[in-house]
Structure 1
Amino acid sequence: MAQRFHSYHDFYRYYLLEHQDPRCRRLHYLGSLLVLGLVLDMSLRGDWQHWWWLPLAGYGCAWLGHFLFERNRPATLRYPFYSFVSDWIMLKDWLTNQLDHKLTQAKANAAAQADGRSAP
Structure 2
Amino acid sequence: MTQRIFTSYEEFWPYYVAMHSRAATRWIHLTGTLTGLALSTYGLVSGRRRFLAALPVIGYGTAWPAHFLIEGNNPATFGHPAWSLRGDARMIRMMLAGRDRELAEIAAAWRAEHS
2:114 and 2:60 map into 1 onto residues whose CA distance is 31
1:47 correspondence with 2:48: yes
1:26 correspondence with 2:35: no
* Higher mean C-alpha deviation, range 94-103 or range 18-27: 94-103
* Higher mean C-alpha deviation, range 51-60 or range 86-95: 51-60
2:88 and 2:7 map into 1 onto residues whose CA distance is 20
SS at match of 1:49: helix
Contact 1:27–1:64 (Cα < 8 Å) also in 2: no
What is aligned with 2:101? 100
TM-score of the pair, normalised by structure 1? 0.82
Q: How big is the shift at 1:10?
A: 1.6
Which residues of 2 match residues 82-101 of structure 1 at below 5 A? 82-101=83-102
What is aligned with 1:67? 68
| Identity over aligned pairs, percent | 32
1:78 correspondence with 2:79: yes
TM-score of the pair, normalised by structure 2? 0.85
Letter in 1 for 2:6: F
Large movers: runs of 4+ above 4 Å: none
- The runs of 5 or more residues in structure 1 that have no matched partner are 115-120
Output the aligned Cα RMSD.
1.9
Aligned length: 114
Tell me which of the two structures has the higher relative contact order, counting C-alpha pairs closer than 8 angstroms and 6 or more residues apart.
Answer: 2
Q: How big is the shift at 1:113?
A: 6.0
1:58 and 1:68 map into 2 onto residues whose CA distance is 16
Pair 1:112–1:24, CA change in 2 (3 A): closer
Pair 1:6–1:106, CA change in 2 (3 A): farther
Letter in 2 for 1:95: L
* Higher mean C-alpha deviation, range 85-94 or range 35-44: 35-44
1:4 correspondence with 2:5: yes
Q: Is the helix fraction higher in 1 or 2?
A: 2
- The runs of 5 or more residues in structure 2 that have no matched partner are none
